[in-house]
Structure 1
Amino acid sequence: MIPGTDLLAALSVPAYMTDSENRLAFYNDAAAELWQCRPPCGEPLSAGPMRLFMPNGVPLAPEEWPTARLLRDGELPPTVELYAQRRDGSRFSAVPHPSLLRDENGRVIGTVNLLIDVPHSGQGDIEAARLAAIVASSDDVIISKNLDGVITSWNAAATRVFGYEPEEMVGQSILKIIPPELHSEEQQILAKLKRGERISHYDTVRMTKGGQRVDISLTVSPLRDRHGRIVGASKVARDVTERKRSEALQRLLFDELNHRVKNTLAIVTALASQSLLKTSSPEEFAESFTGRVEALARAHDLLMLGQMRGTTLADLVHEQVILAGGARIYADGPRVDLDPQAVVQIGLVLHELATNARKYGALSTPNGRLNITWAHMPDREREVVIHWRESGVPNMRPPQARGFGTTLIERTTQAFGGRATIEFRPGGLACDLQLQLRDDPSPPALRLPPSNGRRLAAPPHTVPNLEGRRILVVDDELVIAMDLEARLSGLGCIVIGPAATAAAAIALIGSEEIDAALVDANLGGHRVDDVAASLAQRHIPFAFVTGYGPEALPDTFRHVPVVAKPINVAQLNETLAALAASIKR
């Protein structure tokens, strides 16, 4: 039996169903009695049990039948009295009441039609028949029960959601689909119904045939007999499991965002205080603190690429060490997945080691080399040892004072249940970091290409020759604009601007002599396509300075160099050097 036909089969009103091609799919005994035949299902309705005529006697074309028009136009045709002719030639008057039949995804799969024999019908019968058709074809669960909680009807949607067929549930207690701890809820509903009290719409939980819990939105309405007495209830339920999951995910995301923001601010605050304690001058503090914040930003960039689920150790080494070190670095090791917390903490450790190498170690001398390898401990997949080996460093001596970097390295490895071994050998620093990582982190969704043992090169650190060059600064953040202005002035540049709006920038481009430009990719929430186009039209080289991703850049200028925020001095200098090389005059 087609789902939902049990209610139609029980009707005393003639009812039939068609498929999406208007072929006969089902009919009840009342329809067969009205037609005085039992046509086979699957044939076109117009070739089946009857022919239809307009009240004036004009035959109705098959494409103009009510069910055909409803399937074609998607709208209910006007309700009119038609004449139907049976196969034996006899006629009867009828009023059709078709409704579209949809599957659980909302696609039209046919029609449900009530065919009311006018001489034997009343308005009440028509309305009852129409209601039965609506119940049978509804996407919502519709269940009726008596005042003892015994189910009296069960539609196709109830079967789809809960898994029980009508014959399994009609005559059974409604408690069959209610979790045991909510049985008292049903008793309260029945008591209110008997007292004639109103029951407000609410969300609750029900059980499927397989034992799964389903979140539903429930409406309970009283059923009355012809004398107005309450004899039962109709329950309309909608599966809201996905809505509940979305709400839970939203709460989780907000909680996670709140945690990450506060945690990041706490890290920044700690880095500031610790950097201040271990430095002897404002310049040294600014350099060390800015570098650590940049390392934190790079770690978060990797987390964003991995949809906040983590990244790999190879990607972290690539981002924190290799990009800043050039071709003298060799990195290799097996795949190791890191969770978000490990990405941040190990990222800061790698930054401290890389900073030391650039200042005093292998990356501070032309002949220096740095090898970074890592491996799993035997039979311990989540225990990893990172080997940091520097060579080619003449006159390597241990530092006279213990710095913040050393403390951070040791405390981090201890937090991961391991230890750090640091040796200042004659040729360079040797450091082993033993880490006990958390079990089974979620693999990142997107990764940078792993090193696979190759030597990965980056442009060497450069101080650009920009003496006397006129550089336009476009940025709506005053502090950042001031910082750029100070850095450019320190390089001997003449700063034009800064301009805080696109209009101001375009005006300066048209009126000032400009050699190159640094342009924020977003000004007050607006893209800078017009500014970029004005610069390109006048053949002025420029770079974007932005904290946004590539999607914020003007589409036709994705090839333009980008300086990421927070600004890395080395990257800024390298970008300025490239701009200086492209200046024609």
Structure 2
Amino acid sequence: MREHSRGDDSPVVASSAPHATVSETLGGPASRDFLETSPVAGYLTDEAGIIIYYNQLAADIWGGRPRLREVRFCGSLQLRTPDGRLLPHADSPVATALREKRAVRNYRVLVERPDGSLLPIRVFATPIFNARGDLSGGVNMLIEEPDDPPADEITQRMRAIIESSDDAILAKDLNGIITDWNRGAEQLFGYTRKEAVGRSVTMLIPPDRADEEPSILARLRLGEKIDHYETVRQRKDGTLVDISLSVSPIRNRAGHVIGASKIARDITERRRAEEQQQLLIQEMNHRVKNLFTVASSLVSLSARTTKTSAELAAVLRERLGALSQAHMLTVPAASAEPDRLAHATTLHSLLKTVLAPYDQGGAHATVRGPDIVLTGRSLTSFALLLHEFATNAAKYGALSTEQGGVEIMCDSGDEMFTLTWTERGGPPVERTSDGEGFGTILARATIGSQLGGEIRREWKPDGLVIRLTAARDRL
């Protein structure tokens, strides 16, 4: 047993006994002098756990100097257990020593400092009682674990990689409580590290996917790894985001699973690209089928007006060439020039090109009304729509017969431009609605999203009438 001096020169017992006894002068000059000259980090608290004094070695371990009588139980940013789980200050060794009035010694913890580093220490917390036997405070001595430079270097390197990653990386315990949260997670989900750590990971899971987390936790407890699991998560603002999730178990030194690390990658753009790819594949399929059907219709139409095979070949060659030119107008030009969409033409010229394969004599199509200039995206959009109208007319409508024809009327107002496509003289009209074919869906999407207008079809007994409107400022 050793004796140290108290402020009133009475002996203070420090031994292997469960507690020590001091007078009400806890925190007096003698106690401070003892801590200042001690080769070990230490601090004093009152009976409620409020820190009333600490030495420089304790401040060095914490990585800062907390204000006296304002911090409770510990001056660190936060504590962790050796396996990395958060240890609330209210459950720290000194809090336990004061609450249970017993010494808590040789307890291993990790001190997290403001720079993000983790310092392993051993804690020796002892309650202090006055001469009457009442609890008057506590003393906590902190001893750093022996340094392991290679391990510390690896830890710092891994922390730097995690913090600089654009992917969201987080960790949770086996109860689903978030223990780590990097900058990528802040950017993806909208919660700061302070807001996220200590909360359940279910805050990220939409209500309709609430059954996912129990299943994931069950697999983790078995030590399973989950790779590239695609799902949906919810941001702080309530919006949903498509993510690819990889989950790996975290094990302690004994090999037991104590939690999980998660890497979440935003795949919204990839999903959009896949949807766009599918749309393009459908469009290509639609166009190829259209071209075969239209080509067949051109052969039949040309055969009715020619008498020799040579004449048929010449007429058909000319019409197929015109069809090729019209088709090319529906494909945006690829160019390295930044102003590659600046190419312009007039609506009447566009109509003439699109209708050329079916109206080489000029008797099957008429265009009336004011002409307008089309540029950039509006040119491609109009070319796509008019090409669709013409090919459908050639397959099923007025342009599929020698007697049929199309009249196009243009009308330009201050805010909206209107094009009315009227077919006459074709086969009897039996259809009464647009249906939901790819051409109809594509036309609706084009006119609505790109031209700011709408498209309507009216199936009259003597032929189809299409009314297309577009915003003038989109042209």
Q: TM-score, normalised by structure 1?
A: 0.41
Q: Give me the TM-score of the superposition, normalised by structure 2.
A: 0.49
